[in-house]
Every structure is written in structure tokens, then in C-alpha cells.
Amino acid sequence: MREKADVWQGTLALMILKTLEGMGALHGYGIARRIEQTSGDRLSVNYGTIYPALLKLEQEGYIGSEWGVSDNKRKAKYYHLTRAGRKQVEREARDWQRTTAILDRFLAPEEQS
């Protein structure tokens, strides 16, 4: 059985924003599980990672939150994307696409002359 990887530095914010963009409002546990599910269970997102990232994104104005009741009838904080968050998703996605295109050039086999 393959071991789950930790989330790469600098990618969690984008994963959270993309998750909220696609799924709508979710609580922290739901966001973490959705990220793991989307990764094909190759990533592991723990509480010590997700909640500081959510707090930072909220302080930056990219997400908002409100208290609600979860499916199991517990009080839970639900997070949603703000207008600024939608713009940030576009910027970060574009930056990561550019970065991965550069890395692809280094990882691709060298062309034969």
C-alpha cells in the first residue's frame, strides 16, 4: 500500500480555494476530505494544516465563514469563497500552470540534436 504524501508548501491555499469554488460552502473537515478525495487519496490533510490555512485565507479576505450545523447535527464553521477569492483562484491557478510548465521543461527528456 502506498503511503499518503503531505501537501506541498504553497499549494494548500489553491486547493482550498478550488474546492470551495467547485463545491460551494463547506466546513473545514469537509474541505480536507474533499482535497484528499480529489487527489485520489494520495494526499493527507490534517487539522494542524487545514485550519491555519483557512484562518489565513479568511484574514486575507479570500474566504468568508459562518456558523451552521453539520450533517451529524454538530455546530460547524462553514467557509465560502468571496469575490476577492474568485479572483485569487484565477491568479494562483495561472501562476501554478506557469510554474508546472517550467518544471516540465526540466523533467522532460532532453531532445536529441
Domain ranges in the chain are 5-107
Q: What pTM does this model have? A: 0.86
Torsion angle of the four alpha carbons 34, 1, 108, 38, in this order, in degrees rounded to the nearest 10? -10
Summarize pLDDT for 1-40 with one digit per residue, the tens.
567 767 776 799 999 999 999 999 999 999 999 999 999 9
Q: 5-107 sits in which CATH class? A: mainly alpha
Q: Could you give the CA distance from residue 77 to residue 67 in angstroms, rounded to a whole number?
A: 4
